[in-house]
Amino acid sequence: MIDANQEVLIFGHKDADGDTLGCSLAFAEALRAAGKHVWVLIPPPLPDMYEFLPGFNEVKDVPPSGVEPQLVFFFDSGNLERSGSGVRHIASQATIVNIDHHPSNSRFGDLNVIEPEASAVGQMVLEMLDHFGFDITPSIATNLYVALLTDTGGFRHENTTPKALEDASRLARLGADPGWIATMRVEMQGRLAWAKVTRRMLREAEAVMAESEGIIDTLNSIAGLELAILFKEVQSDLTKISVRSRGAVDAAAMCALFGGGGHIRAAGAEIAKPMDEAVKAVLATAKEAIHAASGQT
């Protein structure tokens, strides 16, 4: 069925959560890697807190006109109404595949895969990707990890089964970064992203500071982002910042204000302040810089 279709629609549900978003974005990325044209449709407004999910900024509410995919997936949507007005654009001959874990699901699909025992639909998508032989990239792993994290209430609800933890562990091994996901913040409608790496986090992860360098590049891969900042706690009164700019902000000029330097796109500084004070000072400067830079264009 997937082989026979070059265009695919993917629907999530309104009041989007990490499960519907994570599943939709993960499956879309896998299909795109297989050369498909994919549109992810989820009714707005989408919660800002998920803006860091890879692919988030490509989510639409209706498909572009003239596009009539014959294959349509729904993830985590208990009924058609939950997926908003976009469903009116589904071609009348299209095959609808309904993937969900709500026992109350209305079975509106031509093919209904409902697994009430799944802690999150993210686990079902992981199985599907394995079944179809799709690669699980770090960004797919991140989306599916967030699906599981959301629906298990941060691995605290009673649906935190051994299988949920095994899947989470596998996704972490495939590139989802639990510590980073827990601390990631996105502000200014996705233009500014930042994360903290504390000494405690690194101890618990049995990692060394050097291994956290990749985080800044993950931050920097968020679509629509202008400035990414990683704060690293070196000592209780010393914080290192790494800054990446993809917009008009001069990262080197910004870091120079804190005694550092570098290049326009990549710069850093060491600030003789505890983490929280450094975060406060640098974020205020970063927001000013983004405003000033966007004023010039």
**Residue with the closest Cβ to Mn ion?**
19
Subset of residues 65 to 84 that bind Mn ion, contact rule: CB under 5 A = 76
Beta strands in the chain (DSSP E): 7-11, 37-41, 71-75, 95-100, 111-114, 185-187, 192-197, 227-235, 238-245, 261-262, 266-271
- Could you tell me if 25 and 56 are in contact, meaning their C-beta atoms sit under 8 angstroms apart? yes
Q: Which stretch binds Mn ion (CB under 5 A): 81-89, 146-154, 195-203, 279-287?
A: 146-154
CB of 255 to Mn ion, least distance (A): 41
Q: Which stretch binds Mn ion (CB under 5 A): 18-26, 53-61, 191-199, 255-263?
A: 18-26
Q: Which stretch binds Mn ion (CB under 5 A): 17-25, 52-60, 111-119, 213-221?
A: 17-25
- Could you tell me if 5 and 71 are in contact, meaning their C-beta atoms sit under 8 angstroms apart? yes
CB of 52 to Mn ion, least distance (A): 19
C-alpha span between 147 and 141 (Å, rounded): 10
C-alpha span between 142 and 156 (Å, rounded): 19
CB of 257 to Mn ion, least distance (A): 44
Q: Which stretch binds Mn ion (CB under 5 A): 11-19, 153-161, 177-185, 232-240?
A: 11-19
CB of 118 to Mn ion, least distance (A): 8
CB closer to Mn ion, 77 vs 139: 77
CB closer to Mn ion, 29 vs 151: 151
CB closer to Mn ion, 181 vs 255: 181
Nearest to 27 by CA among 110, 150, 106, 131: 131
C-alpha span between 144 and 209 (Å, rounded): 26
CB closer to Mn ion, 36 vs 155: 155
Beta-strand relationship, 185-187 and 227-235: unpaired
Three-class DSSP category at 9: strand
CB of 76 to Mn ion, least distance (A): 4
C-alpha span between 84 and 107 (Å, rounded): 17
CB of 180 to Mn ion, least distance (A): 22
**Those residues with Cβ within 8 angstroms of residue 3's Cβ, 6 or more apart along the chain or in another chain:** none
Assess 19 for contact with Mn ion (CB under 5 A): yes
Assess 167 for contact with Mn ion (CB under 5 A): no
Q: Tokens for 265, please give them.
A: 């796109």
Sheet strand arrangement including 95-100 = 37-41, 7-11, 71-75, 95-100, 111-114
CB closer to Mn ion, 19 vs 51: 19
By CB atoms closer than 10 A (0-12, 13-18, 19+), residue 196 is buried
Assess 100 for contact with Mn ion (CB under 5 A): no
Number of chain residues interacting with Mn ion (CB under 5 A) = 3
- Could you tell me if 98 and 107 are in contact, meaning their C-beta atoms sit under 8 angstroms apart? yes
CB of 120 to Mn ion, least distance (A): 5
Out of 29, 51, 151, 167, the only residue in the binding site for Mn ion (CB under 5 A) is 151
Subset of residues 210 to 239 that bind Mn ion, contact rule: CB under 5 A = none
CB of 175 to Mn ion, least distance (A): 22
Hey, what amino acid is at 145? Y
Q: Which residues bind Mn ion (CB under 5 A)?
A: 19, 76, 151
